[in-house]
Structure 1
């Protein structure tokens, strides 16, 4: 069997031999009266001289790019696994708590630190915002010049009012001021005229508006009245109790009452100190969140196993090898992870396997989840579950510690990637240099064969001239003696 070598341009060795043969024939034809096919001749010679190096560069570039892509897939799979382990490293994956209440109007959410338990929550007062409203300003009334000072807490602002200014202009000035202390201003068009309504942006007694104003309004009869003669309504704090312990909050979103629990009481209706609204808050382990975290870990681990297997295996049916077949780094990662998964976790002098909580290692290296066994471990808070996923030396901590030298910045994978990119850069330089050499060689050959073609054409013309003078085969020249 004759093998065929193909260059980067798609030209086979047989094609090159054919082109060279044609080029050689062009020289012969040129010497016998035909014109040289210089372009074909030069192309064939340049290709034959550089195709081997071009093919070697292209082959190595393809190999590097394929390997770079494969390493990137390994890195991505490890990164996903590392992300799935984060909740086990900080202990939050199995310690999540969910909240429920036996009524409406109060809602609760949990964060890190919440613990299971049952609590009586009684709301006697909602937090409200401070407000102040002006007197009615009919269309026949006019504002007089003056100054308003608004203060919330330690911040304050001055508002200058000009004679005849509108309430909407004052509201705009307050809302757009960079020094606004936390007051929202709007105009209400009521049946008795316009009112300027000021409201503190935050609820609570500490956010009560302090208002000083010498602005007056003059009605059609010439009577002047202070614009804010009705005073300010103070803000109030929310009042509630938890298991009889009194709690106050400037906001109806209460975050400082129970560790890890946020209560929203804004939906409570009709609560007063004499008629509080009482509900039972229940905090229990969120097994569904823990189940999701464990399944996410299994999925991420299985994704790495299948990804690594597809990149490092040999397909006998197609006779195709994966780009990382026999790769020591990939094999090291795969074998190391498998060893940690199969060896289990030792805690308190006892070794717990992952199968004890329903995570079973399969022949292909992946993990399958036995839901019944896992749910039983979660609902009973089994010692095996606690041991396997403990944040100190549990499976998450061990896998993370093992992967760190590979996945960290400037780690083994980054170094491998940098090496491949450096090689690709060098190959690109070689390719550029080869192209420059091909261009120079083409110019050289074009010049040489153009000169040769001109010489042969001149020789052919001289031959014809001499034949005309002295004759030749089957012809008599003008100067021939035997004419």
Structure 2
């Protein structure tokens, strides 16, 4: 008898349903176990991720207080007034000075005589010099004032001069302006006139200038250096309006000259506010860390909420180490966080008394620095401890990596199990199909025998 083309057609059984049910009965406990383990691993990864974020922010705040440069910041007063603006670096020593702005540096302007729009300027060679650099221009006698302006401005070897045309009631004037300020950038113009006379005030000779006004070239703005007088005694002169080397660590940008004999005081002092702000930031980041660790490791019997890291020894160890370090005090003088107005609440959080903190920092700045700066300080020990938990090789990341490995293993188990279930399904179908075929054959044989018996003489068929 030929094989059956549809499972169950021979026996009348739902072979497909039976096989599917048997396979699912094998899969169900496996999937339940795998899903539970995956959920646990994923939950742990998320929880440790939250923890490492809080710890990293806390570590950054501790490092900031452990950095000596944050205790070497200065402030300066005033930062700006009518006569100058100031800035200060950590190189400056706390001190006060009187500063008089004697003069402001400025560039030079030289203005030519008047020309009509189509007047030519003459022929020959014009040499323009600024601070040792010279530009030589050759003119053929066809150039107008505008042409000369363009030749100067567009020349590759321009030594630092901008030419402009200004028109007044008399006509057009060519204005030569030095690009940089200060006496060193004064402009000199020498000419070699094709008429053979460089001093006849005709042709190109009209543009000659060597620092003294002529009938055709007037200095409309003299070049000046900037000059300041410090403490009515020390005189500093330079071509720039920004003084960076007069007082070590202090920059003074002059804006306006004082009246003769007048001056303004500047004061450099330690900037203790930055340390106070860093301490407040530290307390805030610690509180975030503690709240995160408590939330992750707590069992709330009332709400039946269980922290995702309950039972994790790493969490208990980290919290314990941090609390032990913060409860310590600096050996020289016994200064502690509590003495600076940073105390612990009943919930274990840090509370900052701004008044006590400011007073403690202002009155014992060196003591505060010693408490926080250095490998053996509170912040030094804390930073070293936290570094062991954060980073690519930290204990928290090791935990995260172990749970990621668990997820990879579970994926591999699921793939292997899927192959086993496929093989089981194929085997069951094969077995049930064979049975179905046999039952079909037996049913067919039975029907045949029944028909033959029914056709025998003397056989009475009973309905």
CA distance in 2, matches of 1:282, 1:207: 34
1:288 paired residue among 257, 267, 273: 273
Please name the residue that 2:339 is paired with.
356
Please name the residue that 1:262 is paired with.
251
User: Counterparts in 2 of 1:79-478, with a 5 A limit?
Assistant: 79-101=56-78, 103-129=81-107, 139-140=117-118, 173=154, 183=160, 185=162, 187=164, 190-191=167-168, 192-193=171-172, 195=174, 199-200=178-179, 203-205=181-183, 225=204, 229-230=208-209, 236-243=224-231, 244-266=233-255, 268=256, 270-271=257-258, 275=260, 278-347=263-332, 350-381=333-364, 385-391=368-374, 393-438=376-421, 444=426, 448=430, 451=433, 455=437, 459=441, 462=444, 466=448, 470=451
Bigger Rg, which one:
2
Deviations 1:127-165 (A, max 9, x none): 334667788786525799999988877889999999879
Ranges in structure 1 where 5+ consecutive residues have no aligned partner: 1-25, 217-222
RMSD after superposition: 4.7
Task: Give the secondary structure class of the aligned counterpart of 1:257.
Answer: strand
CA distance in 2, matches of 1:447, 1:142: 109
Change (3 A) 1:107 1:466: same
Deviations 1:83-137 (A, max 9, x none): 2234432334444332223952322222223333221011112233466778878
Aligned residues: 433
Change (3 A) 1:211 1:47: farther
Change (3 A) 1:161 1:294: farther
Please name the residue that 2:26 is paired with.
49
CA distance in 2, matches of 1:424, 1:171: 74
Task: Give the secondary structure class of the aligned counterpart of 2:99.
Answer: strand
Contact 1:96–1:290, Cα closer than 8 Å, also in 2: no
CA distance in 2, matches of 1:184, 1:91: 48
1:240 deviates by 1.0
1:234 deviates by 8.2
Task: Give the secondary structure class of the aligned counterpart of 2:266.
Answer: strand
Contact 2:9–2:436, Cα closer than 8 Å, also in 1: no
Contact 1:124–1:277, Cα closer than 8 Å, also in 2: no
1:453 deviates by 9.7
Change (3 A) 1:383 1:214: same
Contact 1:470–1:480, Cα closer than 8 Å, also in 2: no
CA distance in 2, matches of 1:390, 1:435: 59
| Alignment TM-score, normalising by the size of structure 1 | 0.70
Change (3 A) 1:293 1:140: same
CA distance in 1, matches of 2:294, 2:19: 49
Task: Give the secondary structure class of the aligned counterpart of 1:351.
Answer: coil
Ranges in structure 2 where 5+ consecutive residues have no aligned partner: 1-5, 195-201, 212-220
Contact 1:159–1:173, Cα closer than 8 Å, also in 2: no
Contact 2:149–2:174, Cα closer than 8 Å, also in 1: no
Deviations 1:219-254 (A, max 9, x none): xxxx85379655798864421122232233443232
Q: Does residue 1:78 correspond to 2:55, yes or no?
A: yes
